[in-house]
Structure formats: C-alpha cells, structure tokens
Amino acid sequence: MDYEKEVNIPPFARTPSSQSRVLTTAVRLGVRPFAGRIKGRSATIRLWRSLLGAGSRCLRADPRVSVEPIIDPCVEDPDVKRPVRGEWLRSPGCSPERGAILYLHGGGYAICSPRTHRVITTRLAMDTDLPVLAPDYRLAPEHPFPAAFEDVLDAYRLLLARGFPSDRIIIAGDSSGGHLATALTAEACRTGLPAPAGVVLFSPWVDLTGELATASVSSSRDPYIVPAVATRFGRLYVGTGDWEDPRLSLLTCPNEELPPFLIQVGGIEVLRAEAEALAEVLEEAGSPYDLQIWPEQMHVFQIFNRILPEADAAMREASRFIRRVLGTDSVTEAA
C-alpha cells in the first residue's frame, strides 16, 4: 500500500514509502562506510564540516523564507556573556506576537551549522509563521563543554530580552541539538529561569557516553550513525567536564516539572533506545510527552522533508504540536 493512501493510520505508523527505502539504501552504501572512519582529529573534522556544508546546498531550503544573519550582544541582559551569533528566519506571514522557535542544530557538537539545517528551519518558519532563531553555537573540539550550552542559553535569554514570553517560546533541536534543547529546558526549570512552552526533538542524542547506542547496535539497522563515532564526538564535547553534570547527563537529572515534549525518532536508528529512555524519564517525572517512532526511518530523516513523504509528514506533526502548545491551532498549515 502506498504511504499516502494509508489515510486511517497515523503517519508515524505507516508502511515506509519506496522513496524512503531507496534513500536509506543509498545512505547505507554511500555514507556509512566513510562516516565510520571519522577519528575525531581536528583536520578530519574540518574536512567533514566543509563536506557537509557543501552537501547541505543540495537540500534546497524554502526560498520564501528570509534569512537574516545576526551578531547581537543583547546588552539588555547582563547575564548574556557573549554576543549571540546565528540567524533569524522569517516567513512572509511571520507573526512574532504568536511566539518564536529557538532551533538548535545537530552535528555531534563538532560539525554542521544553522546553514546546514535551513531545510528544517525554513520549513518550521513556513508551517508555523513563527520567527525562528538558529544560534551558531561554538563547536568542539576547539570549544568543549560548556561552550555550546552557554551559547544556546544566551540565545534563549536573548529571546526573553526581546519580549518573547517564555510561554510563547518553543525550543527545538535535532541530534546533539536535541541534547542541548533538553539540557536547556531542564536547566531553566532547575534555576528558576522561565521555562519554554514546549520542546520538539528530532532524533535526540541523549546519552553522550555512547553506552545505549553501543548496546542497541545489534538490534538496529542504522544506515548512518556508527556508535563508536558518536562516542568519540561525545568525548570531544565533554572534554575535561564532569560526565555527571546535569547539563550533560540527561537521563539522571532530577524530576523537575518540564513542559510538553514531542520526540520523533527513526525506527532503525541506534539512537532510538536513547529517545525511549528519555521518554521513560519524562514519564517518571509526570511530564507530558509524545514519542513517535517512525518505521524504517534513519537519523534526522526530517531533513529530507522536500523529498520523503515521511519527512514531510513528520514536519507537519511537529508544527501541529507547536500550534497546539501555543494555542494557535487556527493557523493554516503551509501547503
């Protein structure tokens, strides 16, 4: 049965499309053999940053969305230590009075940038008509923990200083950006900083030690993520930091009252176990969450939202969650 014809089945439970199967096979044959060779050396990481930066241009972002680079010192908040760097993304119908999205890109804390993820951020901007702030946080190994965390915390403080109430802010992120989004939200709850209205996670990287990914590799058919490489990247980011720091160890954090979470994860990726473990933590804390496991999908498949019907549907699910949390359900979905 075709993916689009399974109208009575939730999109995250439908039979994988033929496009999805073809792309998964292509990634398994063309990317995984090379991804497994990343050793964590600075020269190798710089090479991958260049390759992924160039490759991201093949995934066309929505041209209707304006992209404005920013370097904002946010002098209004003395707790902001460094100028916030990144970009604002706005749709033609952008309505900042409805709120804003803080999007934290993935890349193992060592590669990628707001530019590489514009196919996701422009889609969110169009589907929600909310302004999207994508900070260009510092990367490891040049800048280990807590550099990235401090940068995204400053970006969140910037939104608050610019007049966005916390209950009108959505924090979203993929992979390591999902780790940052969760850590930032938990930190706000721990320290008394106003918490966001909700959190959206695409294939969140939850366990930086790599233990969960390594344990689940035998039961997954991940075409992209190699657990050993994820472990190396985790060590690069943590550096000399304390692995038990609550900003790093998300699965052992205290049971703060957290806002609603939407967690989307591919059914065949090794990070599935981490998403499920995070859902268990939220369950024990009594925090509302929605865990969607998309059959046969790979890591951050949402980045192919202009190609795969599953990725398109996942982005629509994310935007629906955002509108529901913010109470803007009347906003029309992008075509």
Which residues share a beta bridge with 198? 170
Phi and psi torsions of 289, nearest 5°? -155, 160
Nearest to 73 by CA among 5, 155, 2, 6: 155
Catalytic one among 175, 176, 203, 319?
175
Q: For 103, how many CA atoms within 13 A lie in the half-sphere containing its CB?
A: 30
Structure tokens at 80: 């902001």
Cα–Cα distance for residue pair 176/148, rounded to 1 Å: 10
Between strands 169-174 and 100-104, the pairing is parallel
Q: Beta strands of 95-250 (E only): which ranges?
A: 100-104, 132-135, 169-174, 198-202
Question: What counts of helices (H) and strands (E) characterise the chain?
Answer: 10, 8
Residue 219 bears catalytic tag: no
Catalytic (active-site) positions: 175
